[in-house]
Amino acid sequence: MLLTGRAPRLTLRCLALNSPILSSISRMAYYLGVPSPATIIGTLTSLLILDILAVALRFVVRKSRKQRLQADDWLTIPALIVTIGMSTNLFWGVRTRKLGYPIHTTLDNMAPGVPTRKHDYAAVTLAPAALSLIKASCLCLYRRHFVVDKTNPRDLRNLFFAFSITVISLWGASLTLTYVFACGVRWELISAPPWETYGHCIDPMKLGYFFMYSDFVTDVLVVIIPIPFVWRMRLSWRTKCAVLCVFLLGAFTTVCSLLRMLFMLWSFEVGIDPTLDEGLMTTVADYWFTVEAHVGLLAACLPTLPGLFKGTKLGSSFKSWWSSSTGASRGLKSGKSGGIPGIDSEKSVAFINEDILRED
């Protein structure tokens, strides 16, 4: 409750909604948006299995294609470990009935919410680390395909991606450390009621707003960065769209980030409302944090997986369909694909060219 943004204020802003209709609508939307324990377990278990498979297959593809493992691959390992930690946090919260269930705290008795606030602290501390690792992996993948001379310090594209990766890394590290030491070393305040942390901890409203908006903005930027690089290549428009669809899989992460941001904005406006259960409010925020990390990691790995099917009937069928629908295979073989100066178009879509289109 402390760190997801329910501010340390005693005024019940929801009670300022004099209209009982508006108040009823808000409560209805809140209860409809709370995932059930079965939904939490089922969704996160499925995503966890998919993430483990995606990361493992990513390395299998690199080895089978004899491609050198680079930063974009290695970053998925710590990202997976942190994401597993986030899911474990929610699983244990559901198991102990501190997440996914009402905990019935009141302004006079906040003690039942202590374990829930500890789960919340774990979620918001791990989330920036997981999300920054995933975004850095995506940027490293872009650098791998869109920068030809990665050793040239004067190459503008090389500098751009190096700067972007540095910014994302600093963003994740600073937020993680800020949440860890939000109350300094007074660890007892982590699970304390909001009014007891006032003046001793970082303002959760300001920190929550910064995390919420910066996460969404960086998600959008990571999604749109490859668009101009791909669109300027001398490829058919169908091929461009197909390549962009692979890169834009990260848009699913942006949707999760947007849903979480909308809920958090509503949560900030509500403040401390005795008619809304603290355990359920915390569940929604932590659940979407975790789903966003899982979906982001899956989206970061999917562009590397087409090579898994090379040499199989599925790969041959997909190759025939691709060639007939886009004409990309003919264009690449005849040397007509070309590219803008400094960008090797064939290399830039290597995960498609090498694994689907090109003949050995």
Q: Please identify which residue in the block is written with the tokens 């264009």.
A: 331
Q: Is residue 219 part of a domain?
A: yes
141's CB contacts (< 8 A; 6+ apart) are: 72, 300, 303, 304
Q: Is residue 1 part of a domain?
A: no
CA distances from 162 to 138, 151, 154, 158 (A): 12, 11, 12, 6
Q: Is residue 46 part of a domain?
A: yes
Question: How far does CA 227 lie from the centroid of its chain?
Answer: 19
Q: What is the DSSP letter of 67?
A: P
Q: Is residue 282 part of a domain?
A: yes
Which CATH number fits the domain that encloses residue 114? Answer: 1.20.1070
The pLDDT score that the predictor gives to residue 291 is 92
Q: Is residue 128 part of a domain?
A: yes
Q: Please identify which residue in the block is written with the tokens 């090498």.
A: 354
Residue 67 CA neighbour count, 13 Å, CB half: 23
Residue 271, both tokens = 């403040």
Alpha-carbon span 180 to 165, nearest angstrom: 23
| Largest CA-CA distance found in the chain, in angstroms, rounded | 76
**Length in residues, the chain:** 360
Alpha-carbon span 102 to 118, nearest angstrom: 16
Alpha-carbon span 167 to 186, nearest angstrom: 30
Picking from 208, 64, 81, the residue whose alpha carbon sits closest to that of residue 134 is: 81
The answer to whether the CB of 90 falls within 8 A of the CB of 40 is: yes
Alpha-carbon span 44 to 291, nearest angstrom: 7
Residue 107, both tokens = 């302004």
Alpha-carbon span 52 to 298, nearest angstrom: 9
Residue 62 CA neighbour count, 13 Å, CB half: 19
Residue 9 DSSP SS3: coil
Q: What is the DSSP string of 333-348?
A: HTT----STT--HHHH
Q: Is residue 255 part of a domain?
A: yes
> What's the domain range around 329?
13-357
User: How many domains does the chain divide into?
Assistant: 1
pTM of the model: 0.76
The answer to whether the CB of 354 falls within 8 A of the CB of 252 is: no
Picking from 298, 306, 225, 313, the residue whose alpha carbon sits closest to that of residue 256 is: 298
Q: Is residue 7 part of a domain?
A: no
The pLDDT score that the predictor gives to residue 309 is 53
Chunked mean pLDDT (size 10), the chain, 360 residues = 42 39 48 80 95 94 89 96 96 93 80 87 94 94 85 85 95 95 86 78 85 90 86 75 72 77 70 71 88 91 71 46 43 41 43 38
The pLDDT score that the predictor gives to residue 180 is 93
Q: Is residue 116 part of a domain?
A: yes
Distance from the first to the final alpha carbon of the chain: 57
